């Protein structure tokens, strides 16, 4: 009989779902036939009331990012989190306990900060002995909400995240630094960049930039492209507009007016293939994207980030010298020119090789196996 792995997440941003999928695919890659795996959006499945608030995440970060940042820091407080949990319990705990009893998982893995205390309580209420692992998807600075000393294992991405977890009360013997889980397809590469470019009708030897702005196409993407054209950069572009349909339409309509070759995509699940064709990435500071880019050997230019939860990612890129940061399109293009210099480019690649942990999802899968 197959062992059951239950993953808990919430669709507040794409990073949590992506992290869970990365671990699921790593488990499949290592032992495809051995495990029955399922994902549950905790708020959607167990609390219609709380799911209303979870659904506010996307519009808030899109239209009121500063308000989100203020809320993030306001809640980074032990007493406020305790109060929030007590207020949430009547709306979710009974259903979450029932779900655990019905699913009968052999292990539970959480990739979301707001469900962990409640899950530890629900496991206890279920009367079952179920190992509980938390995988923290904030790679450097992390929110206090992640920390639940009752878990069996807490996995973090960096030594800095480990120090933060210890400061917030996580037990040292339950902490492991493994890395940010990314899908195995980002490092199980079987094709060269030049061959990949030929397939997609790009020039095989021309410096190739991947420009993206997360799911919403953030970060002055059109202005950056206009500035590249103005500066007559010798490059070709792959642009992912995400769910930003107006940006996608505008770019496709304007593609022929620019001096360089450019391919435009909307929301796509082929990011790993497009990264494989690229030399450099310009992007939003999502933790998954940064980890994926490093796994693919791409220096990074960050052009936008969420206040609070993504600020540590920006600090990481600068501190480890794996990329640069600027919101200004003119400065972004200057940085591209600097990165095209061979000495600078290879220094960045050396730093990426030093800090990247592309096999993290595989290692996390092995940790899961050790508990069941």
What is the SS3 string spanning 150-198?
CCCEEEECCHHHHHHHHHCCCCHHHEEECCCCCCHHHCCCCCCHHHHHH
* pLDDT of 48: 65
- 45 pLDDT band, cuts 50/70/90, is confident
pTM comes to 0.88
Higher-pLDDT residue of 365 and 139 is 365
The answer to whether the CB of 116 falls within 8 A of the CB of 142 is no
| Structure token pair of residue 372 | 């069941």
Q: What is the pLDDT of residue 46?
A: 74
Q: What angle do CA 18, 20, 21 make, to 5 degrees?
A: 65
Residue 216 confidence class, pLDDT cut points 50, 70, 90: low
For the cut 60, the answer to whether the pLDDT of residue 113 exceeds it is yes
Environment class of 234 (CB within 10 Å of its CB; exposed 0-12, middle 13-18, buried 19+): exposed
Residues 293-297: contacts with CB under 8 Å, at least 24 apart: 294/322, 294/352, 294/355, 294/356, 294/358, 295/182, 295/186, 295/187, 295/356, 295/358, 296/186, 296/187, 296/189, 296/272, 297/349, 297/352, 297/353
Least trusted range by pLDDT, from 123-132, 182-191, 235-244, 249-258 = 182-191
C-alpha pair distances (Å), 146 with each of 59, 133, 162: 23, 11, 12
What's the pLDDT tens digit per position in 51-82? 666 666 677 677 777 887 887 888 888 888 88
Residue 198: its pLDDT value, please?
Answer: 75
Averaged confidence pLDDT in the chain: 89
Strand order in the sheet with 280-284: 262-265, 236-240, 208-212, 280-284, 300-304, 323-325
> Mean of the pLDDT values across residues 259-282?
92
The arithmetic mean of pLDDT across residues 257-263, rounded, is: 90
Closest CA relative to residue 313, chosen from 158, 111, 115: 158
Question: Which residue from 198, 243, 227 is spatially nearest to 334, judged by alpha carbons?
Answer: 227
Cβ-based burial of 217 (10 A; exposed 0-12, middle 13-18, buried ≥19)? buried
At 14, the pLDDT band (50, 70, 90 cuts) reads low
Least confident of 38-52, 166-180, 275-289, 324-338: 38-52
How high is the pLDDT of residue 11? 72
Architecture of domain 188-355: 3-Layer(aba) Sandwich (3.40)
Domain ranges in the chain?
Answer: 3-180+358-371, 188-355
pLDDT digits (tens, 9 = 90+) for 200-210: 778 888 999 99
Residue 372 and residue 353: Cα distance in Å, rounded? 33
Map tokens 């002055």 to a residue: 220
pLDDT at residue number 254:
83
Domains 3-180+358-371 and 188-355 share a fold: yes
Q: How confident is the model at residue 217 (pLDDT cuts 50, 70, 90)?
A: low
Per CATH, the number for 3-180+358-371 is 3.40.50.2000
pLDDT at residue 141, rounded to an integer: 82
Residue 191 confidence (pLDDT) above 70: no
The answer, yes or no, to whether residue 311 has pLDDT greater than 80, is yes
């Amino acid at each position: 009989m197959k062992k059951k792995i239950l993953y808990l997440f919430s669709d507040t941003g794409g990073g949590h779902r992506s992290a869970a999928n990365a671990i699921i695919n790593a488990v499949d890659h290592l032992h495809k036939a051995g495990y029955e795996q399922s994902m549950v959006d905790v708020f959607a499945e167990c609390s219609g009331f709380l799911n209303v608030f979870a659904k506010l995440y996307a519009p808030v970060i899109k239209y009121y990012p500063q308000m989100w940042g203020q809320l993030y820091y306001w809640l980074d407080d032990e007493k406020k989190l305790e109060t929030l949990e007590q207020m949430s319990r009547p709306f979710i705990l009974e259903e979450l306990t029932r779900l655990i009893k019905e699913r009968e998982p052999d292990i539970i893995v959480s990739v979301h900060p707001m469900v962990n205390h409640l899950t530890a309580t629900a496991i206890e209420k279920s009367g079952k002995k179920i190992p509980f692992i938390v995988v923290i998807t904030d790679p450097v600075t992390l929110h206090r909400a992640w920390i639940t000393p009752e878990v069996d294992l807490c996995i973090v991405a960096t030594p800095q995240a480990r120090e933060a977890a210890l400061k917030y009360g996580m037990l040292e013997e339950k902490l492991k630094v493994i890395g940010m889980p990314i899908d195995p397809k980002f490092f199980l590469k079987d094709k060269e960049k030049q061959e990949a470019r030929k397939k997609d009708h790009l020039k095989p030897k021309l410096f190739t930039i991947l420009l993206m702005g997360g799911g919403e196409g953030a970060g002055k993407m059109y202005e950056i492209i206009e500035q590249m054209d103005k500066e007559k950069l010798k490059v070709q572009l792959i642009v992912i507009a995400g769910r930003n349909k107006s940006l996608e339409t505008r770019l496709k309509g304007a593609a022929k007016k620019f001096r360089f070759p450019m391919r435009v995509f909307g929301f796509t699940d082929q990011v790993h293939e497009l990264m494989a064709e690229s030399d450099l990435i310009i992007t939003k500071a999502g933790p998954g994207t940064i980890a994926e880019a490093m796994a693919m050997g791409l220096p990074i230019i960050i052009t936008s980030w969420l206040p609070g939860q993504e600020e540590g990612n920006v600090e990481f890129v600068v501190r480890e010298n794996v990329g640069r940061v600027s919101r200004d399109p003119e400065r972004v293009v200057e940085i591209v020119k600097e990165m095209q210099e061979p000495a600078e480019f290879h220094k960045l690649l050396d730093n990426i090789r030093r800090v990247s942990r592309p096999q993290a999802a595989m290692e996390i899968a092995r940790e899961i196996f050790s508990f069941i």
